Structure 1
Amino acid sequence: MSKREHQREHIIKTAFKVWGASRFTDMSLTTLAEELALTKPALYRYFKNKDELMRAMRDRCAADYIRLSEQLIDTDSEQNLDELVHGFVELTNLFFTEQPEYAAFFVTQFIGPAGLTREDLRALFCTQHERLESAVRNQYPNAAPELLSTAGHFVMFSGVFWSMVGYIDQDLLPLDRHTREPAAIEASISRSYEVCMHGLLIQGSTRMPSFERVESLCRVGSDGRMEADRILSAIAEVVAEVGLFDATIERIAEKVGMSKSSLYFYFKNKDEMLAKMAQRLRMHFLDVLLARMEQFSAIEDRLYAFLIVTSAYMLQNPELLTIAHWFRAQNLDIELDSATRERALNAFTFLQAALRDGQIRARADELVAVVSYLHLYVMHDAAFFRPDISSEPELHRHMRSIYTLTMGGLRAAAVASDDAADQEGVII
Structure 2
Amino acid sequence: MNNPTKRDEIASAAFVAWGETHFTSTSLNLVAQRLGITKQALYRHFRNKEALLDELTERFLAAYAQIRDDVCVLPEDASLSEIVTQYADGVYRMFADVPHYYLFLVLRLLPGPAEVAGRFYAIGDEIGNRVLPHLDPSLPRAQIDLLMLFMHVHIVMWTAFDFWTPMGALRGEPVGGRARERRVAHTVDLCLKGHFPHARIPIDFEEVERFAVVDPSEMLEPNRIFAAVEQVVQEVGFEAASMDRIARALGMTKSSLYFYFENKDAMLLEALNRERRHMRSLFAARVEQLSRFSEMLYCYLVTMVTYFLNNRSLLVFSDWLTAQRVRVPDTVHDEQQILATVDFVRRRLKLSQNPKRRKEVIETVALFSILMYRGIADRGLSRENEDEALAFTRDLYRTVTHGIGPGTATGAPVQGEEHRHPVTQGAAQKEGDE
Q: Does 1:268 align with 2:267?
A: no
Cα distance in 1, alignment partners of residues 385 and 415 from structure 2? 26
Shift of 1:297: 2.3
- Measure, in 1, the Cα distance between the counterparts of 2:249 and 2:7: 35
Larger RCO (CA within 8 A; separation ≥ 6):
1
Q: How far, CA to CA, are the matches of 2:121 and 2:43 in structure 1? A: 31
Retained in 2: the 8 A contact 1:199–1:406? yes
Inter-partner Cα distance in structure 2 for 1:47 and 1:259: 36
Name the SS for the 1:414 alignment partner: coil
- Give me the whole-angstrom Cα distance separating, in 1, the residues matched to 2:264 and 2:90: 38
Q: Which residue of 2 aligns with 1:94?
A: 93
How much does 1:320 deviate? Answer: 2.4
Letter in 2 for 1:349: D
Cα deviation, 1:16-51, whole Å, max 9, x if unaligned, reads: 1223345446766543331133445665784655x7
Deviation per CA, 1:280-310: give whole Å up to 9, x if none: 2322332333333333221111111121222
- 1:205-220 equivalence runs, <5 A: 208-220=202-214
Whether contact under 8 Å (2:286, 2:299) holds in the other structure is yes
Cα distance change of structure 1 residues 386 and 289 upon mapping to structure 2, 3 Å threshold: farther
- Residue equivalent to 1:363: 357
* SS of corresponding position for 1:107: helix
Q: Which moved more, 1:240-249 or 1:82-91?
A: 240-249
In the alignment, the residues of structure 2 paired with residue 214 and residue 117 of structure 1 have an alpha-carbon distance, to the nearest angstrom, of: 41
Give the secondary structure class of the aligned counterpart of 2:357. coil
Q: How many angstroms apart in 2 are the aligned matches of 1:361 and 1:393?
A: 39
Q: Distance in 2 between matches of 1:207 and 1:336?
A: 36
Match of 1:414 among 407, 411, 426: 407
Paired with 1:374 and 1:169, the residues of 2 have a C-alpha distance of 16
In 1, are the aligned partners of 2:403 and 2:409 still within 8 Å (CA)?
no
Contact 1:109 1:115 in 2 (8 A): no
2:132: which partner in 1? 133
Q: Distance in 1 between matches of 2:261 and 2:221?
A: 20
Measured against aligned partners, the alpha-carbon deviations of 1:85-123 in whole angstroms (never above 9, x if no partner) come to: 222212222221221111233232356797787221232
8 Å CA contact retained: 1:234, 1:255: yes
Q: How far off is 1:52 after superposition?
A: 6.8
CA drift of 1:414 comes to 1.4
C-alpha deviations, 1:263-294, integer Å up to 9, x for none? 32323322222222222232233233333333
The answer to whether the 8 Å contact 1:356/1:364 transfers is: yes
| Structure 1 CA distance for aligned equivalents of residues 36 and 74 of structure 2 | 44
CA distance in 2, matches of 1:236, 1:150: 27
- Counterpart of 1:190, as a letter, is A
Distance of aligned partners of 1:150 and 1:205 in 2 relative to their CA distance in 1, 3 Å threshold: closer
- Cross-structure match for 2:179: 184
**Partner in structure 1 of residue 154 of structure 2:** 158
Change (3 A) 1:380 1:115: farther
Matches within 5 A, 1:144-155: 147-155=143-151
Aligned residue runs from structure 1 range 55-134, under 5 A? 57-73=56-72, 75-110=74-109, 118-134=117-133
Q: CA deviation at 1:352?
A: 1.4
Shift of residue 195, structure 1, vs aligned partner: 0.8
Q: Deviations over 1:303-345 (max 9, x none)?
A: 111212222222212232222122244251522473x554432
Q: Report whether the alignment pairs 1:352 with 2:346.
A: yes
Q: Does structure 1 retain, via aligned residues, the 8 Å contact 2:23–2:104?
A: yes
Q: Which is helix-richer, 1 or 2?
A: 1
Residues 68 and 91 of structure 1 are in contact (CA less than 8 Å); yes or no, is this contact kept in structure 2? yes
Taking the aligned partners of 1:229 and 1:162, their CA distance within structure 2 comes to 34
Instruction: Give the TM-score normalised by the residue count of structure 2.
Output: 0.81
Q: Does the 8 A contact of 1:198 with 1:409 survive in 2? A: yes
The equivalent position to 1:195 in structure 2, one of 179, 183, 190, is 190
Conserved 8 A contact 1:147-1:401 = yes
Q: Distance in 2 between matches of 1:371 and 1:113?
A: 25
Higher mean alpha-carbon deviation, 236-245 vs 182-191, is at 236-245
Cα offset for 1:248? Answer: 3.1
Task: Note the C-alpha offset of 1:255.
Answer: 3.9
Flag the 1:119–1:23 CA change in 2: closer, same or farther, 3 A: closer
Instruction: Choose which of 224, 230, 233 in structure 2 pairs with 1:230.
Output: 224
Q: How many correspondences in the alignment?
A: 416
User: Does the CA contact (< 8 Å) of 1:210 and 1:424 recur in 2?
Assistant: no
CA contact 1:143–1:414 (8 Å) conserved in 2: no
Larger displacement relative to structure 2 (64-73 or 86-95): 64-73
Taking the TM superposition and a 5 Å limit, the aligned residue runs for 1:366-405 are 366-386=360-380, 391-405=385-399
Measured at CA, do residues 180 and 297 of structure 1 come closer, stay the same or move farther in structure 2, by a change above 3 Å? same
Contact 1:236–1:322 (8 Å) recurs in 2 = yes
Cα-to-partner distance string for 1:364-415 (whole Å, 9 max, x where unaligned)? 222211111112221122233335997322222222222112111123x516
- 1:333 and 1:416 mapped to 2: Cα distance? 36
The sequence identity of aligned pairs, in percent, is 26
Shift of 1:359: 7.0
Deviation of 1:128 (Å): 3.7
| Residue in 2 that maps onto 1:291 | 285
Q: Which one-letter code corresponds to 2:222 in the other structure?
A: A
Unaligned runs of 5+ residues in structure 2 are 419-433
Closer, same or farther in 2 for the Cα pair 1:260/1:361, shift >3 Å? same
Tell me, in whole angstroms, the C-alpha distance in 2 between the residues paired with 1:59 and 1:376. 25
Structure 1: unaligned runs, 5 residues or longer: none
2:199/2:294 contact within 8 Å kept: no
Cα offset for 1:198?
0.5
Amino acid at match of 2:149: H
Quote the residue 1:303 is aligned against. 297
Segment drifting more, 95-104 vs 78-87: 78-87
Kept in 2, the 8 Å contact 1:200–1:361? The answer is: no
